[in-house]
């Protein structure tokens, strides 16, 4: 068994879509980044890569590579899963926390779970997503950005 932790943060800006866990969420601001800036999916990818000792998403999908400009992070997550499967790893579970003052995310969490479950080819009950605010403290509390943490447990099948 191997455990991994992932963390990501992106700045909130006007004129960008807000995408979390592959779900486009209506909001006046979106996340700035080279790809779709999906902090939740990025944190999951980093947790999975870390558990398998494969580095981080910057190593595999550098923001200097135009091939990843505007990339859909769910597609990148599928590529991470291909790497894990080739090494004989399977996901036991994933647990995530999104930190955002606004918008409220409770109505979108189930679709995020479905998207990540499908991308990782794991049962829905093996992925959990929580959302919290920081009570108006720090950069997330001031609505300057959104961050996410993810932890995962992998097992080697072969």
Tell whether residue 74 is among the known ligand binding residues.
no
**R_g of the chain computed on alpha carbons:** 15
Q: In angstroms, rounded to a whole number, what is the distance separating the alpha carbons of residues 120 and 116?
A: 6
Residue 31 has, within 13 A of its CA and on its CB side, a CA count of: 31
Tell whether residue 14 is among the known ligand binding residues.
no
Tell whether residue 143 is among the known ligand binding residues.
no
Specify the length of the chain in residues.
158
Tell whether residue 149 is among the known ligand binding residues.
no
Tell whether residue 28 is among the known ligand binding residues.
no
Tell whether residue 5 is among the known ligand binding residues.
no
Q: Per the omega criterion (within 30 degrees of 0), is the bond before 9 cis?
A: no
Tokens of 77: 């997550």
Tell whether residue 9 is among the known ligand binding residues.
yes
Tell whether residue 139 is among the known ligand binding residues.
yes
Tell whether residue 3 is among the known ligand binding residues.
no
Tell whether residue 10 is among the known ligand binding residues.
yes
- Kindly tell me the sign of the dihedral angle through the C-alpha atoms of 52, 55, 58, 59: negative
The residues, any chain, with a CB within 8 Å of residue 68's CB and separated by 6 or more, are 34, 35, 61, 62, 76
Tell whether residue 132 is among the known ligand binding residues.
yes
Tell whether residue 140 is among the known ligand binding residues.
no
Residue list for the binding site: 8-10, 34-35, 42, 56-58, 61-65, 132-135, 139, 142
Residue list for the binding site for a divalent metal cation: 8, 10, 42
């Amino acid at each position: 068994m191997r455990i991994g932790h992932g963390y990501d943060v992106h700045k909130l800006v006007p004129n960008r879509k807000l995408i979390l866990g592959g779900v486009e969420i209506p909001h006046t601001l979106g996340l700035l980044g080279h790809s779709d800036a999906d902090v939740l999916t990025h944190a999951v990818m980093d947790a999975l890569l870390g558990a398998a000792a494969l580095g981080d998403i910057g190593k595999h999908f550098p923001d200097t590579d135009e091939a990843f400009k505007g990339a859909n992070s769910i597609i990148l997550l599928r590529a991470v899963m291909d790497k894990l499967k080739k090494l004989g790893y399977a996901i036991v579970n994933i647990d995530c926390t999104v930190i955002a003052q606004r918008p409220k995310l409770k109505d979108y969490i189930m679709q995020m779970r479905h998207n990540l479950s499908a991308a990782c080819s794991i049962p829905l009950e093996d992925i959990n997503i929580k959302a919290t605010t920081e009570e108006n403290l720090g950069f997330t509390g001031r609505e300057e950005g959104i961050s996410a943490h993810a932890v995962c447990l992998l097992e080697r099948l072969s």
